[in-house]
């Protein structure tokens, strides 16, 4: 058991942190140039040939930065796509999203839409897109109308593995979101004084933030466990991803709420970044399945498989 990040993973994190702080709204081509869009694509297909763990580092940072790009939605389907499509993603010419329900994420930016039908996942062609007003402007939802199945992309047998990838990424995105919200709260309660003292010296303020730290670290542990299981195709990947996503989404939402409370009135304003972090946390909690539904899956794994 060795839970340290490799030097490469540390470098990737530093690069991602620096780039996303300097470039809040990077285009897909910029992400391709950094090697992120094809991070998990084999080298012979034009990618970087990295493992899912390296991709996961980027996703955690993308969550932290509220990256507005179809990185998660593309990464979910990427390893299952035909080789030439993976090459196009790595080169920054294509991005993907999967239409599993009526609401399709990242429909403003994803160039291609995949849709499950029967035993196959198809490329959807000849459709219209309509974006819907949503709370989280950095991960829009829309609906598609018309259209028909074009090329067959991959077998529907891959959908459970695809879902585990999706949940593991969302868990780490949530950890990134929550970590940034907590950092903002810690900075604020150190600076803001009332009754002649920094408000962070009051335990009624500091203890909820200590609890937020605790919950986020546990969620981080689960997120990396799930990412490792996905990376290794471990038999526990599905339950680990469900457990991690449930816990991380709730931790991120609770941390944002505590951070808003700690900021007082300013935390409740449109101009402060906190509401955008909060909205992404709520977005993540709503996607795929609610934490309660995910825990029902975990319970079924624990209690119904004997």
Partner 1 sequence: MDFRDTAEEASFRDEVRTWFAESLPDELRGHRGGGARFDGPEVRAWSRALYDAGWVGISWPSEFGGRGLSPRFQAIYLEEEARAEAPPHVGVIGLGMAGPTIIAHGTDAQKARYLQPLLSAEEIWCQGFSEPGAGSDLAGVRTAARLEGDRFVLDGQKVWSSYAHIADFCILLTRSDPTSERHEGLTYMVVDMHGPGVEVRPLTQITGEAEFNEIFFANAEVPVENVLGEIGAGWGVAMTTLLHERGTLGFALVARLEVQMRKLLALAADRGASPTQRDAIAREWTQLQALRVTAYRSLTALERTGVPGPEGSILKLQWSEANQRVTALALDLLGPDAQLLPPNGPYGGYWAIQQLRSRGNTIEAGTSEILRSIVAERVLGLPRSR
Kindly list the residues in this chain that would bind partner 1 in the complex (CB under 8 A): 1-6, 9, 53, 182, 186, 189-190, 197-198, 200-203, 206-207, 209-211, 213-214, 217-222, 224-225, 228-229, 240, 243, 246-247, 292, 295-296, 298-299, 302-303, 306
Nearest to partner 1 of 114, 212 (CB atom): 212
DSSP state of 306: -
- Minimum distance from residue 198 beta carbon to partner 1 (Å): 5
The residue annotated as part of the active site, out of 25, 44, 288, 297, is: 288
- Minimum distance from residue 237 beta carbon to partner 1 (Å): 12
Greatest extent of the chain over all pairs of C-alpha atoms, in Å:
67
Lookup result for tokens 């609401």? 103
- Minimum distance from residue 49 beta carbon to partner 1 (Å): 17
Residue 8 phi, psi dihedral angles, 5° rounding: -60, -45
Residue 289 phi, psi dihedral angles, 5° rounding: -165, 150
- Choose among 96, 99, 53, 107: nearest CA to 226: 53
Nearest to partner 1 of 271, 304 (CB atom): 304
| Gap between the Cα atoms of 213 and 155, Å rounded | 41
Calculate the alpha carbon distances from 148 to 59, 84, 110, 126 in Å: 31, 21, 17, 7
- Minimum distance from residue 86 beta carbon to partner 1 (Å): 24
Query: Which two structure tokens, joined as six digits, stand for 106?
Result: 């990242």
Give, rounded to a whole angstrom, the gap between the first and last alpha carbons of the chain. Answer: 28
- Minimum distance from residue 98 beta carbon to partner 1 (Å): 26
Lookup result for tokens 């609610």? 290
- Minimum distance from residue 38 beta carbon to partner 1 (Å): 22
> SS3 letters for 165-212?
HHHHHHHHHHHHHHHHHHHHHHHHHHHCEECCEEHHHCHHHHHHHHHH
Nearest to partner 1 of 89, 189 (CB atom): 189
Region at 135 (left for phi over 0; alpha for psi -120 to 50; beta for the rest):
alpha
* Residue 288 a catalytic site member: yes
Nearest to partner 1 of 34, 219 (CB atom): 219
Beta bridge partners of 194: 197
Nearest to partner 1 of 143, 296 (CB atom): 296
Residue 111 phi, psi dihedral angles, 5° rounding: -80, -25
Nearest to partner 1 of 65, 239 (CB atom): 239
Cite the active site residues.
288
């Amino acid at each position: 058991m060795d839970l340290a990040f490799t030097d490469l993973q540390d470098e990737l994190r530093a690069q991602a942190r620096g780039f996303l702080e300097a470039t809040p709204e990077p285009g897909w081509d910029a992400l391709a140039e950094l090697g992120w869009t094809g991070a998990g694509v084999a080298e012979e297909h034009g990618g970087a040939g990295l493992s899912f763990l390296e991709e996961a580092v980027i996703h955690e940072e993308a969550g932290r930065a509220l990256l507005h790009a179809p990185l998660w939605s593309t990464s979910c389907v990427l390893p299952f796509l035909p080789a030439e499509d993976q090459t196009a993603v790595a080169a920054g010419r294509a991005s993907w999203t999967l239409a599993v329900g009526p609401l399709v994420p990242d429909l403003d930016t994803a160039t291609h839409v995949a849709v499950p039908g029967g035993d196959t996942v198809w490329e959807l062609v000849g459709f219209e897109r309509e974006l819907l007003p949503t709370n989280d402007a950095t991960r829009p939802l829309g609906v598609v109308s018309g259209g028909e199945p074009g090329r067959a992309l991959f077998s529907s047998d891959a959908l459970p593995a695809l879902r585990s990838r999706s949940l593991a990424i969302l868990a780490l995105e949530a950890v990134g979101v929550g970590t940034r919200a907590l950092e903002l709260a810690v900075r604020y309660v150190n600076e803001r004084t009332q009754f002649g003292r920094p408000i962070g010296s009051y335990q009624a303020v500091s203890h909820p933030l200590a609890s937020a730290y605790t919950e986020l670290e546990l969620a981080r542990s689960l997120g990396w466990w799930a990412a490792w299981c996905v990376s290794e195709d471990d038999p526990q990947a599905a339950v680990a991803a469900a457990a991690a996503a449930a816990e991380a989404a709730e931790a991120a939402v609770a941390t944002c709420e505590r951070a808003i409370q700690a900021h007082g009135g300013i935390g409740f304003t449109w101009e402060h970044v906190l509401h955008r972090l909060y909205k992404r946390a709520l977005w993540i909690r709503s996607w795929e399945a609610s934490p309660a539904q995910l825990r029902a899956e975990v319970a079924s794994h624990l209690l119904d498989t004997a």
